Structure 1
Amino acid sequence: MQATITGKFTDSRQVAENWFSAFAAGDISRLTGLLSDDVVWHVDGDPGVSTVGLLQGREKVVTWLKSFPQNFHAREFVISHYYGDQENVLAIGRFRHTILSTGQTVGSDMVIHFTVRDQQICRYQIYEDSLLLKQAFTVQQQPVHQQVRLNGTVYRYLDIGEGPILLFAHGLFLDGQAFRAQYKVLSQSYRCIVMDMPGHGQSSHSPSGWTLNTIAEDLALMIQELFHRPVTFIGQSQGGMVGIRLAARFPELVERMVLIGTSAREEPEFRITDWQLRCEILQNGTQQQRSQLFDRIQPLLNSRRWLEQFPQQAADDRQRMLHQDPQAMALALTAAVFTRGDIRSLLPDITVPVLVICGEDDPATPPELSMEIAHSLVSSELALLPETGHHPMLESAGQVTSLIRQFLEGPPRSA
């Protein structure tokens, strides 16, 4: 805790601390005793949110306090700093609550301003993300996606479930829905943050392009500022390449990692010409030419077994690729292929446990690349999946989910 230290401020701060202690315990009697007769309660926002409005008088505020647990289930409530003087206390922190009427979970930074007189609270005002609260009070048929601007790029992500945080990052031409089989199961025990990578899905992108290094920096900022704790990073292909950078450069932010169908090497020279032609079609081709491009690319990514057994899912994935912004896909291709570079030197710096998964029939990042990664890491497990190509989380969804769950439930291992 940090605070402006004076004798009189210490007294007013103690009132605020007593308030939070009683609030956490649900002790209405103690809370009532901390309120002045004419206390003013000030919560800005949409009136559709049950806690929003202006109240005056102890009795009305006590009614508000009694209704709080009928509307919210507290997941996290942290006060990190106090500032103030003899009459004013600013408590700075964050919360995360589930709205009981909708099942939506919402979190926000907050500042609570207490005005203290004669050891009682005579005014309370909270500053929080009222728009996010309003959205959480709206019944949604599907899980709510959120957005955050990181160093100028707007990232869209799904935030679902409660528990230790799993952060998912997909590969080129996909979006966060590529992990739908995994997060539907794992969100029962974990908080799943499922990203749309820059230029993919509903995330924005810089028209001048980006690199995998800048994505790693963006996600590091997100973890630091929004999650306040290390995550398990789950990355496929380009997502795994970002994960290696993140875990090596920001080791305090990653507690475990899952790498799926990825590489620590630069793109082989013999493939560059084909990628240049594909990039040209993305930038300047017609819709029909781009459709034909993805028809040709899919057999280079997915196993024959999956394409034959799941033709509708394969067709849906081609449509998802085709509906991406082609200019953004060209920039994403540049980052994931042309400028990604060789990062094998980073692997020995990663000391957290890592699960490496690869399809035995992956032509894009063949199994020997995953073997190389696993052998270069301090603490790793390797799983090779038969009849599986470059998208194991789609092609062998149940196996991948089970492998991740077993890995997460296993005992932590020291370097």
Structure 2
Amino acid sequence: MAETRVGGARIRYDDVGQGGPTLLFIPGWCTSRAVFRKLAPWCSTLHRTLVVDLPGHGESSLPGMDFENATVVDILRSVIDASGARQVVPVALSHGGWWALELRRQLGSRIPALVLLDWLVLEPPPAFLQAVRALQTPQWRQAREGLFSLWLQGVSSPDVIRFVQEDMGSFGEDMWKRAGREVSRAYAQYGSPLRALSALSSPVPTLHLYAQPEDSAWLDAQRSFASSHPWYQVQKLPARSHFPLLELPEEMAARIGRFIDARVDVGNPLDRLAPSPS
């Protein structure tokens, strides 16, 4: 395990494997890096992987009494700098995608591609916006349990059930309210992730891997977007939950690997051989 310090906060991350580009695994809000415990080892056989605990999550400490999206991006940049990685492909779970997008804005070609996992990339439905607003109220616990029920509906995987109930369920009022606030702000500012991706100064190859919802209209809308934005790819996985990285890690790793091989040009050959720092 490696660590760096940012503004007094200790940020811990795993640094394993070798070969460029480096993959930066970014959890979502109220999610520790344990969510990648099955996927990252498969990916690390071909690429160096950095798996981060967000501030105040897992084994990373809080940077202060409160923090926001910009703070998380600064911390992720500090992890990249501390690692010495030249080219980094963020592999971002859910709303961690907002931070991946901002890394691309700030670092440009050092972020040659994005991999997004199970994200609400279209215009958010009213029920979702209502739920994230409710997370910011005294009824935050009921709102959280409602989300858990939605995510676990029809799910039988013990790994998924345990992760949602025990890992995500371990976060309390402050973090869930912060999550609701910051997710709401991002959608209010950009409208949708696809709109934000389209607004980047230069297109970035982007892969979205997801399993739910089953609604064919959800996939059709993304395919329609991809037809006019060839840098975007969407692939649906045959998993029962919103966490296919816990259900189908080997298949996900293979798809990520094929995408990077096809869409990412490692300009500096030394990056392919860059070892993890001791």
1:407 corresponds in structure 2 to 259
User: Cα distance, 1:301 vs. partner?
Assistant: 2.4
Q: Letter of the 1:296 partner, please give it.
A: G
Q: Residue 411 of structure 1: CA displacement?
A: 5.7
Query: What does 1:125-204 align with in structure 2 at a 5 Å threshold?
Result: 145-164=1-20, 165-204=22-61
Alpha carbons of 1:257 and 1:373: their partners in 2 closer, same or farther (altered >3 Å)? farther
Instruction: Check whether the contact 2:42–2:249 (CA below 8 A) recurs between aligned residues.
Output: no
Look up the match of 1:320: 167
Matches within 5 A, 1:202-241: 202-241=59-98
Looking at structure 2, the residues matched to 403 and 218 of structure 1 have their Cα atoms a distance apart, in angstroms, of 28
Is the CA contact (8 Å cut-off) linking 2:26 and 2:96 kept in structure 1?
A: yes
Q: Specify the SS of the correspondent of 1:321.
A: helix
**Structure-1 residue corresponding to 2:182:** 335
Q: Distance in 2 between matches of 1:410 and 1:150?
A: 35
- Taking the aligned partners of 1:182 and 1:193, their CA distance within structure 2 comes to 12
The CA deviation string for residues 92-149 of structure 1, in whole angstroms up to 9 with x for no partner, is xxxxxxxxxxxxxxxxxxxxxxxxxxxxxxxxxxxxxxxxxxxxxxxxxxxxx22212
Q: Secondary structure at the match of 2:210?
A: strand
State yes or no: 1:255 paired with 2:107. Answer: no
Q: Is the 8 A contact 1:201 1:324 kept in 2?
A: no
Assess, with a 3 A threshold, how the Cα gap between structure 1 residues 232 and 373 changes in structure 2: closer, same or farther. Answer: farther
Is this contact kept in 2: 1:351–1:378, CA < 8 A? no
The letter of the residue matching 2:2 is Q
Q: Identify the residue that residue 301 of structure 1 maps to in structure 2.
A: 151
C-alpha offsets along residues 283-307 of structure 1, whole Å, 9 cap, x if unaligned? 7xxxxxx5x7655322322462xx1
Q: Kindly indicate whether the alpha-carbon contact (under 8 Å) linking 1:166 and 1:193 is maintained by their aligned counterparts in 2.
A: yes
Corresponding residue of 1:361 = 213
Find the residue that maps to 2:38 and give its secondary structure: helix
Q: Against the structure 1 CA distance between its residues 199 and 367, is the aligned structure 2 distance closer, same or farther, given a 3 Å change threshold? A: farther
Offset at residue 235 of structure 1 (A) = 0.6
Deviation of 1:231 after TM superposition, in Å, equals 0.9
One-letter amino acid matched to 2:26: A
Please, what TM-score do these two structures have when normalized by structure 1? 0.54
8 Å CA contact retained: 1:186, 1:192: yes
Residues 155 and 358 of structure 1: CA distance in aligned 2, closer, same or farther (over 3 Å): same
Percent identity between the two aligned chains = 22
Greater per-residue helix proportion = 2
Unaligned runs of 5+ in 1: 1-144, 284-289
- Measure, in 2, the Cα distance between the counterparts of 1:359 and 1:328: 26
- 1:146–1:156 Cα contact (<8 Å) kept: yes
SS in 2 for 1:349: coil
Distance of 1:369 and 1:205 partners within structure 2: 38
1:379 paired to 2:226: no
2:133 partner amino acid:
Q
Residue type of the alignment partner of 1:392: P
Give the whole-Å Cα distance in 1 for the aligned partners of 2:235 and 2:62.
34
Q: d(CA) in 1 for partners of 2:123 and 2:10? A: 27
SS in 1 for 2:233: strand
**Greater relative CO, 1 or 2 (CA 8 Å, sep 6+):** 2
**CA–CA distance in structure 1, aligned partners of residues 49 and 184 of structure 2:** 27
Q: Once the 2 structures are TM-superposed, how far is the Cα of residue 193 of structure 1 from its aligned partner? A: 0.4
Q: Distance in 2 between matches of 1:373 and 1:270?
A: 23
Q: Per residue, is there more strand in 1 or in 2?
A: 1
Q: Distance in 1 between matches of 2:87 and 2:97?
A: 17
Contact residue 133 and residue 181 of structure 2 kept, 8 A: no
Q: Return the offset for 1:156.
A: 1.9
What is the match of residue 271 of structure 1?
128
How far residue 330 of structure 1 moved from its aligned partner, in angstroms, is 2.1
Give the match's secondary structure for 1:280.
coil
Q: Indicate if the aligned counterparts of 2:132 and 2:183 stay in contact, CA closer than 8 A.
A: no
Structure-1 separation of matches of 2:173 and 2:47: 34
Unaligned regions of 5+ residues in structure 2, if any? 267-278
Give the number of the structure whose alpha-carbon radius of gyration is greater: 1
1:64-102 Cα distance to aligned partner (Å, 9 max, x none): xxxxxxxxxxxxxxxxxxxxxxxxxxxxxxxxxxxxxxx
